[in-house]
Chains A and B, each alone.
Chain A
Amino acid sequence: MPYTPPIKSMKYLLHHAVDFDAVLACPDHSDTTADLVGDILDGAGRFASDVLAPTNWAGDQTPAALSGDAVTTSPGFKDAYSAYVEAGWQGLGMAVDHGGMGLPQAVSVATGEMTYAANMAFGLCPMLTASAMKAIAAHASDDLKAKYLPKMVTGEWSGAMNLTEPQAGSDLGPVRTKAVDKGDGTYAISGQKIYITWGEHDCADNIVHLVLARLPDAPEGSKGISLFLCPKYFVGDDGALGERNSLKCIGLEHKLGIHGSPTCTMEFDGATGWLIGEPNRGLACMFTMMNEARLFVGVQGVAIGDRAYQAALGFARERVQGRTLGKQETIIGHPDVRRMLMDMKARLMGARVICMATAVAGDIAASHPHEETRKAAHIREALLTPIAKSYGSDVGISATSTAVQVHGGMGFVEETGAAQHYRDSRIASIYEGTNGIQAIDLLARKIRRDGGAGMMALIEELSQIPALLVMTTAETGVRLGSSRDALEQSLATLREATQIMLDIDEADGLGGASNYLMLCGHIIAGCLLIKGMCNGLLAGDPQAENMQKLVWYHALVVMPEAGAHLNYLRRAGRVLFDYPEIALGDL
């Protein structure tokens, strides 16, 4: 199944809809020109479509396999991984000081999307390595950094995150894995971790495990968890690989999707580990890279949704069935098929622009010369992250489902690959904090903690867009009245919903959190697309005309869905608990 990287859309959104040019203007990125970014996207796109995409189906059909404690990855993965390392993509987002390229996160989001679309199961390995590197770079001792980062930044060694245990998933407080001080600067780690992505495999020479565990005297719950680094193979002072550490994979999960990604049960049997950061501060260390990891899961949704969309489009252009009213002979001429394609495209574009806006906020927060701007951007990034994660993954899941529908019976049978995308996309709303947990994060930490200040600042900014619309019409003569109506109404909806979420009591708030998140997603996506449309029209971008039609669809169909969520919030969570729990089981 071929994959065409959506580079044109990405560039359009980067330059017209989100302020990527402000990122390039930061001193940290003075060497990074728009042309260079274009070359990087082209290079990454080519690698994704030519090297990674052809391995996707094999990953699904021949999952990673365990024999003894060794994991053999799917056919073609090892070679693809070597090619990935050889081409130097792993270092893209890592700081220059640590041997990376120091490119903006917005570029990683774009290249990441292409990698995940090409082969999501494969793409999780580089993603986890990047996350592990970020945590090490931010919190580990200089010794650990010097020993591990150089080989991780090339991808020769990969990373894995060991958080989850059978009794500790959404809530990591009950983590039971033990860490005992051996008195020589190392710790003995014992316990079992489940669902560890790429925890064991045959692609990299070494695997660097970051493990959450509890010291003997640690307080109960999440304030008593520390972070440790446990390599699969010990590393000598000369950098040479030594003995095997006492940790191993004792099982692989059979899953709905991402079959090519080994999901490992890891056993730590007195494995030697090194403390990262301070004792009992493990979760805080993890959180420094959590924003990024969550954003990237949202990007996975967009990625796999777009891959499925492309397959559906290709199918709709080939399949002849029934007489169409239009010019086209294939089913793409049927209005209902067109509806499905438009719907996927508009929603995916909306989710993509939210991911990019989140990344740009992160870049400004990291690199802008003015502290005030950095602070405001940091708040923006934190606010948008749960939305990017949940909205991106949910849009991805709905797009892959629609893509199955476009395929008719061929979508339900495996051979077209549409079913694989549907299955693969499903994980994105579960891992890296379920979407329910994201909604709670948005409500409790991002809206209520600062009394809605961060959200109000965003609404304030989005409220500039109607003026931009007026100016666009004045300068280009293009009439944009319906976008303006949708925009004004949506901003009012967002304001009212935010006020409700600030005033509501805790239980009702929790009942409305997911609806509020979706409402935010539809509206922020719509606003940013309208902004992108205006800026594109003003710049005379040849794509702007089509963007205008897509945005019209979005403003007419997608944004107004926020209204239904608002209705729900107006009645708050009451509808949920008035119905007795016992009656849920009363059939």
Chain B
Amino acid sequence: MKVLVPVKRVLDYNVKARVKADQSGVDLSNVKMSMNPFDEISVEEAVRMKEAGTATEAIVVSIGPAKAQETIRTALAIGMDRGIHVLTDEDLEPLAIAKILKAIVEAEDAQLVIAGKQAIDNDYGATGSMLAAMLDWPQGTFANTVETSGGSMTVKREVDGGLQTVKLTLPAVVTTDLRLNEPRYARLPDIMKAKKKTIDAKTPEDFGVDTTPRLKTVKVTEPAGRSAGVIVENVEELVASLKKEGVI
């Protein structure tokens, strides 16, 4: 089974995001960028499937600027077999990404896509589901555990208040949640080997996909800061103030 993992290059999770002065977006100049943490989990899962023999080939895809190649190489160093880089300097929306991925899935004849449940930069959380819908494949989102046997896959999903188990018939799309696995650290020998693996260079046009934005960003602002709290004397006062605030 061929597995495809899309990865996104995002602002590093340790970096505090700063809004651009003109409020057009987040300032990404000269700040540390890394692989979206959910995508690291997807990569780890795909590599484990390869190691277990359930996957025959694991392909990593990134759609983004030239620097996205670094993100692909990170995944290759963890153990993915080869990469596809779709070069674009635009910040594509989930719909456009899903369309490109669909074209790649079909060209590669992949049977499983493992994607992060969301990217930590814009938090859309839409790409995986859109892709499944367009392919007309079953989807197991927010995966906490996955198990493949024969032509099907059992996915335990993280839902409010517990875990929901679904059984998918392959081919399918899975999106990963934080507890699915703990990604390994790249080993030095594997980082060295990664440079010998191939990365195919593509563009959105190669797939004949219309990437015109459907959304317009009006304004980006910092979240409101927390205002100072008050210290209450006793439980009665606490309950009273909570009632006053309309919280209870």
Contact = CB atoms under 8 A, between A and B. Distances in A.
B188 A89 contact: yes
Interface string A1-27: 010100010000000000000000000
Given A4-B14, A40-B192, A47-B185, 6 more contacts: A39-B191, A39-B194, A42-B70, A43-B191, A46-B185, A87-B187
Contacts of B29: 542
B14 A87 contact: no
B189 interface: yes
B185 A40 contact: no
A11 to B, nearest CB: 12
A43 B184 CA distance: 11
Given A35-B73, A39-B77, A42-B74, A91 B195 contact: no
B185 A543 contact: no
A101 interface: yes
A585 B77 CA distance: 64
B30 interface: yes
A431 B31 CA distance: 38
B186 interface: yes
A39 B78 CA distance: 12
Given A33-B195, A46-B185, A39 B70 contact: yes
A39 B186 CA distance: 10
A50 B190 CA distance: 19
A45 to B, nearest CB: 10
Given A4-B14, A33-B195, A39-B77, A87 B188 contact: yes
Contacts of B74: 39, 42
22 contacts: A4-B14, A8-B32, A35-B70, A35-B73, A36-B191, A36-B192, A39-B73, A39-B77, A39-B194, A46-B185, A47-B185, A51-B185, A87-B185, A88-B188, A88-B189, A89-B188, A91-B188, A101-B188, A101-B189, A101-B192, A542-B30, A543-B30
For chain B, which range describes its interface: under 10, 10 to 19, 20 to 34, or 35 or more residues? 10 to 19
How many interface residues does chain A have, given as a range?
A: 20 to 34
A47 B189 CA distance: 14
Interface in B171-203: 185-192, 194-195
A38 B77 CA distance: 13
A503 interface: no
Contacts of A36: 191-192, 195
A43 B195 contact: no
A374 B73 CA distance: 34
Interface in A45-102: 46-47, 50-51, 83, 86-89, 91-92, 101
B185 A50 contact: yes
Contacts of A35: 70, 73, 195
Contacts of B192: 36, 40, 101
A569 B50 CA distance: 67
